[in-house]
Chain A
Amino acid sequence: MKKLGLIVNPIAGMGGRVGLKGTDSPEILAKARELGAEPVAPARAVEALRVLKHHMAKFELLTYPAEMGADEAEAAGLEVRVIGKITSGKTTAEDTKRAAKEMLLEKVDLILFAGGDGTAADTIKAVDALVPILGIPTGVKMHSAVFANTPQAAGEIAARFLREGLPLQQAEVMDIDEEAYRENRLVAKLLGYANVPYEPVMMQATKEGSSGFELADQKAIARGVVELMEKRRIYVLGPGTTTRAVAEELGIYDSTLLGVDLVKDYKLLARDVNERQILKAIRGKPTTIVVSPIGKQGFILGRGNQQLSPEVVRCVGKENVWVLATPHKLSLTPTLKVDTGDSELDREFRGYIRVITGYRQTRMVKVV
């Protein structure tokens, strides 16, 4: 029988309605409660579980006590095996991590969690990519690409994954600096990658050539990009799995997933470089930046790749920025964004740009 682990972060999302942009620290949580914030995660988790139950007759459900899952499962009318211990009403990030780790040991097929970016980050800190995860969206910040669009969709995808075994795809887990976020600055760090069930938003009929799964699309993009590469030109590969596929197509297997690498003459020139190192390497030399949109919001510059500063981008030139994205990714983020911190540069990118979406295939996509 399939095993599903359920983790509800009961405080996730509480900062949202009261304008606090998150509940990452205990002080902020206290403030949120003071402002009259109500828990939102439990109710949304129940919605997801109801849909899951509707689609799936038999599976084993494992969860943590009380508000971290047991209560929600009961409300949805699901039988559940409760593991672990918590202090009800005083749960912390540590509880999420411990729950995830115990579920890993229990060999669950999927961890379904209700929370936001913080919960996603805590979960992968505990289990890395060893267990597939799927987020019920309940947080304030949801920049990571591990969330279903709605709680109902989370339930449906989880059911399909357990029942039919959907393929897995890698998805970014982002961490946003809440302090900065409250001051209206968005500092996003790419924390790592999780395995999530792959559910193409559109089920394609056989009539049009369905592009298949995301990994195949990434490979096709990589093949096309390598064909376009010229000798003696420097290629700045931004973070992400799509750009890593390019490196792999070149036979480079030790590129960084979360950092920026430099490639020249089909070889790795430098690994995990910072802004200054990039500038030093590219000044006066023909250079191309290769990036892929990061996270769910579709940022191509300024999120998770701050090494590619306005100065770096200007030095390379807008016309030498290649953007890669699979059709699946573009379907999640139909428009792209830039936020380099230099509004004039951002403006230059606005309008339609060409995004490489497959082997010898590009698509006109609006940057807003």
Chain B
Amino acid sequence: MTYRQARWAREGCLEPLVFELSKAGRMGASLPRAPARVKIPEKLTRTSLELPELSEPQVVRHYTRLSQMNYGVDSGFYPLGSCTMKYNPKVCDELVNLDGAAHIHPYQAEETVQGALELMYRLERHLAEIAGVSRVCLHPSAGAHGELLGMLLVRAYHKSTGSKRTEVIVPDSAHGTNFASAAMAGFNVVVVPSNNRGRVDLGALREAVSNRTAALMLTNPNTLGLFEDEILEIAEAIHKVGGLLYYDGANLNGILGKARPGDMGFDIVHFNLHKTFSTPHGGGGPGAGPIGVVRKLEKFLPVPVIEYDRRRKRYYLDYNRPNSIGKIKSFYGNFGVLVKAYAYILLMGAEGLEEVSEAAVLNANYIMRKLLKVEGYELKFDTSGPCKHEVVFSAEPLKKKYGVRAHFVAKRLLDFGMHAPTYYFPPIVPEALMIEPTETETKEELDQFIEALKQIAEEARSDPEKLQAAPTATAIARLDEVKASREPILSWRMYRKLAKK
């Protein structure tokens, strides 16, 4: 298959911004004139709105062109490790656009949004069952927001028992957000190294725990895609000193329906609905990072919680919770995301969810076994057993032999019409390529990906310049990534400010 991304450009300049296309007097829709009697206070009136002026077909073409120069799960393979970029079923989008979901307002009276409350109430219970915890809070509006809530719950719990706990333990393979969330909640962070099997070094962990330990934050399967098989020993070491176990839900897709964090000893369980439960993310939509807890932590959950009054047969929002840590969001969560996740759970059913992790793990292992035979890529840790839903290869042999680094491989993959894997993460693997195929890919798609990586390894030997120049088939070639993340231009205003400079 050859790939060539659309590139809409005139005289070397990419598709102009919608503001640059504007011409005075052009119109997309004519609105009725406002009745003259509406009086607007003078200080609120504006003389100019600076809205672009275009015809409807101009607008449609503009956005169609932009979408053609974009790439997403709907365009092709997207093995971005740790992000679980699985296909988002369209029916879930349909449901969230129903009037009852799209046109309600959080300030509506409770009795007029009973359906919405019921949906959230039921979603909480489904998630609690999936994770093996007793209660779930849907409020956090992103994964990291959920982490912060988890850490605030840890703090509230220890405060209630009167013990001074200052430290949160995080393995060196953890997502960077873990360190930040613990610090944001006021804890000191203690990093424990991984052992040569790519799991938490139990010896180091035992040395790290003390009566200062507030919690351990752990991702399982971890960011190497490996199951922490000493999880019961780990849990015991933490619980023995009175600490809590926090589960980072980034990799729940690897054990969905097979194992429950609650059964492993976790006290706080975090979800990424936008990963595991297939709601769009990564520019495609907002996220949701619910937090589940065991019974002893329930009373600390943020207000309001949704309760059901059996006598009056009514759902209601309960603010009367004296031990609650308070509010962490203005309302009750990103409702649209919750609807999609709920729809996804019902769509799959219990057996379907189990099949999700089976297929995700099978796909990752298929790639692992095939790629192990390709010269240029190697595994740095345990290769004896299977991986879970993702696998982290190292392109170090290519770097050592031909000076070809992991990001060259990633960039060249774009020329094959595939999204790149996550690279240089986790940082404990040199030249890391973190591949997560997800369950929704066909065998043919996986084979093409493996073929592409094989061809790139071959090119590293025969034509390294080609890799340095890649990508060439995309709308935009290589970006100055440092500049792009340090000085992002995300709006017309930012663009104009920069142009003035």
Contact = CB atoms under 8 A, between A and B. Distances in A.
Partners in one complex: yes
Contacts of B424: 202-205
A201 interface: yes
Given A208-B176, A362-B188, 19 more contacts: A156-B403, A203-B407, A204-B424, A204-B427, A205-B425, A207-B82, A207-B176, A207-B425, A209-B176, A351-B207, A354-B190, A357-B191, A360-B187, A361-B191, A362-B190, A363-B190, A363-B191, A366-B193, A366-B204
A152 interface: yes
A351 to B, nearest CB: 7
A208 B175 contact: yes
A100 interface: no
B347 to A, nearest CB: 29
Contact of A352 (B176, B207, B422): B207
A186 B192 CA distance: 31
Interface string A31-69: 000000000000000000001001100000000000000
17 contacts: A202-B427, A204-B427, A208-B177, A208-B426, A209-B179, A210-B176, A351-B207, A352-B208, A357-B191, A358-B189, A360-B187, A360-B188, A361-B188, A362-B189, A364-B207, A366-B193, A366-B204
A352 B201 CA distance: 11
Contacts of A358: 189
Interface of B: 82, 172, 175-177, 179-180, 183, 187-193, 201, 203-205, 207-208, 400, 403, 405, 407, 422-427, 430, 485
Query: What 7 A-B pairs have minimum CB-CB distances, sorted nearest first?
Result: A208-B176, A363-B191, A209-B176, A352-B207, A360-B188, A364-B204, A361-B189
Task: Find the residue from A54, A55, A364 having the highest chain B CB count within 10 A.
Answer: A364
B422 A205 contact: yes
B441 to A, nearest CB: 22
Interface in A169-226: 201-210
Contacts of A360: 183, 187-189
Interface in A315-368: 351-352, 354, 357-358, 360-366
Task: Find the residue from A206, A207, A351, A360 having the highest chain B CB count within 10 A.
Answer: A207
Contact of A208 (B204, B405, B427): B427
Contacts of A354: 190, 208
A163 B100 CA distance: 58
Contacts of B190: 354, 361-364
B321 to A, nearest CB: 31
Question: For chain A, which range describes its interface: under 10, 10 to 19, 20 to 34, or 35 or more residues?
Answer: 20 to 34
Nearest to B410: A205
A209 B188 contact: no
A262 to B, nearest CB: 27
Contact of B425 (A54, A55, A208, A361): A208
Contacts of B82: 207
A365 B407 CA distance: 29
Q: Is the interface of A mostly helix, strand, loop or mixed?
A: mixed
A51 B172 CA distance: 32
Interface string A282-317: 000000000000000000000000000000000000
Nearest to A334: B193
B407 A207 contact: no
A360 B179 CA distance: 10
Interface in A241-295: none
A204 B172 CA distance: 14
A141 B217 CA distance: 42
Contacts of A204: 424-425, 427
A209 B187 CA distance: 17
Contact of A363 (B172, B203, B422): B172
A149 to B, nearest CB: 11
Contacts of A361: 179, 183, 188-191
Contacts of B400: 152
B451 to A, nearest CB: 25
A152 B405 CA distance: 13
Contacts of B172: 363
Nearest to A224: B188
Nearest to A203: B424
B42 to A, nearest CB: 46
Task: Find the residue from A351, A358, A361 having the highest chain B CB count within 10 A.
Answer: A361
Contacts of B405: 203
A51 B207 CA distance: 44
A358 B201 CA distance: 21
Contacts of B207: 351-352, 364
A66 B475 CA distance: 50
A207 B422 contact: yes
Contacts of A351: 207
Contacts of B427: 202, 204, 208
Nearest to B484: A206
A352 B204 CA distance: 6
A282 B203 CA distance: 34
Task: Find the residue from B172, B424, B430 having the highest chain A CB count within 10 A.
Answer: B424
B193 A364 contact: yes
Contacts of B430: 201-202
Contacts of A364: 190-193, 201, 204-205, 207-208
Contacts of B180: 209
Nearest to A202: B427
